[in-house]
Amino acid sequence: MNPSMHRPRRRQRSLRALWLAVALGSLVGSSVSAQTEEAHVPPDGASELVPVVITIEAPASTEMYTKLWITGDGEQLGSWNGRGLLASPVGPYTYQATIEWPIGEILSFSVTRGSWDEVECRWKGQAMPKHAFHVTRADTANVVVEQWCDVAFADEPSTFEPLSSDIRVYSAVQSQYVWSRDVLVYLPPTYHDDTHARFPVLYLNDGWSMFAGVDGDASVQPLLGAMLDDLIRRGEVEPLIVVGVAAPPNARMMDYTWVQHFEGTRTNADGYHRFLAEELKPFIDQHYRTLPDREHTGIAGASLGGLVSLHFGLQPDGEFGRVAAMSPSVWWADETMTQWTRTAEKSNTKVWLDMGTNEGNDRAIGGARRLRDALQERGWEVGEDLSYLEVEGGVHTRDAFLARFDEVARFLYPPSPN
């Protein structure tokens, strides 16, 4: 797995002349190549330091001569004070800064114009998670600032709700088995309190949509992170790490299915499973303080994301011991999931299953009931290792799924008795 940053988009050539005078002052005598600069060798026992060139593409709303700052982990980046490392203009709307970072460590940062009131956000105004870059060699971390939050909310600044949760995004993660995609990592508010503590992990399908609402209203965007923060602080949910795995629109159906429903469609659930089990999970377990065993590893999703969560989680020898299927597409391929469950060996898996009563015809709510019955026939018990919920009037939308995610979290990750 290669969690590298995506390349910046190209800007119109006509803009280059506007930046020439500014860029010359930064480039003369100070050109840096991340691939050729000699690495700094630290004292014995410390990781080797290598140069990382952070390249930032700023949005068109960025005014000329604006200073951009990189703020993040460690003194070099200001320890998240809103300023940190100053980036220099090198082209139209393009800035660069170089930092030395230990090989094997995660470089995490955000981009501001000098303070947290002028931080980057997503193009519709949603708060932007922190960028995360796994440093494996001298390299370049490319990031695109989609919008500035104070610009997006210039008319109604009081409506902007900053992202208070600790969420990092690995952009365009590469894989041998699936198309590249973003991966978001949520850390609980207690993560940094005890550096020896380890945490269970929930892998969440449709990561961007569930965390950040690609098509959602900015006012509800921080809901999932803020919800988990609140539940954990109140002691209603065990502190956990959530790994949101984005689904590229042109690969979502393929990655979340293992048998055809529509003629001519491709399936790649096996490849998606290999990505999770062989590439992503080992990376998360290596770089974050996880409890990596099956009992403490869960998977969740909605619609087709819920269906594939069941497919992975109900395997007796699988990696996932906790499963949440919100409004799963149980109708897929003549209810193939239910048919398989009726004859499958019961796994030691804790299962959440729900469906809204207003999600279509009988194939939705009726299919969920038939799957519930099949699980019970195989030995799952409601109130013990199975929770089944019918949401009166519930519809098939992202906001509807998020509205009951607190109940999912309470069931799958109840507070530890001690």
pTM here is 0.80
For 186-219, the DSSP string reads EE-TTTTT-TT--B-EEEEESHHHHHH-TTS-GG
Superfamily of domain 166-412: Alpha/Beta hydrolase fold, catalytic domain (3.40.50.1820)
Residue 214: pLDDT band with limits 50, 70, 90: very low
User: Lowest mean pLDDT: which of 1-10, 272-281, 377-386?
Assistant: 1-10
Question: In angstroms, rounded to a whole number, what is the distance separating the alpha carbons of residues 197 and 182?
Answer: 27
Burial of 381 (0-12, 13-18, 19+ CB in 10 A): exposed
Residue 328: pLDDT band with limits 50, 70, 90: very high
Residue 362: pLDDT band with limits 50, 70, 90: confident
> 13-159: what fold?
Immunoglobulin-like (2.60.40)
pLDDT over 70 (residue 23): no
Q: Are 288 and 312 in contact (CB under 8 A)?
A: no
**What does the pLDDT read at residue 152?**
75
Question: In angstroms, rounded to a whole number, what is the distance separating the alpha carbons of residues 228 and 217?
Answer: 19
Q: Among residues 279, 281, 327, 274, which one has the least CA distance to residue 302?
A: 327
User: Lowest mean pLDDT: which of 28-42, 348-362, 369-383?
Assistant: 28-42
Q: Within 13 Å and on the Cβ side, how many CA atoms surround 35?
A: 0
pLDDT in tens, 113-147: 999 989 998 776 677 889 999 999 999 999 999 98
Question: In angstroms, rounded to a whole number, what is the distance separating the alpha carbons of residues 354 and 153?
Answer: 36
For the chain, the average pLDDT equals: 84
pLDDT over 60 (residue 237): yes
Residue intervals of the chain classified under CATH 2.60.40.10 are 13-159
pLDDT over 50 (residue 309): yes
pLDDT over 90 (residue 228): yes
Place of tokens 């700052």: 69
pLDDT over 70 (residue 38): no
Residue intervals of the chain classified under CATH 3.40.50.1820 are 166-412
Query: How many CB atoms lie under 10 A from the CB of residue 87?
Result: 21
Tell me what the mean pLDDT of segment 195-224 comes to.
Answer: 73
Q: Are 107 and 141 in contact (CB under 8 A)?
A: yes
CA distances from 126 to 59, 62, 223 (A): 15, 18, 11
**What does the pLDDT read at residue 15?**
35
pLDDT over 90 (residue 95): yes
Q: Are 402 and 204 in contact (CB under 8 A)?
A: no
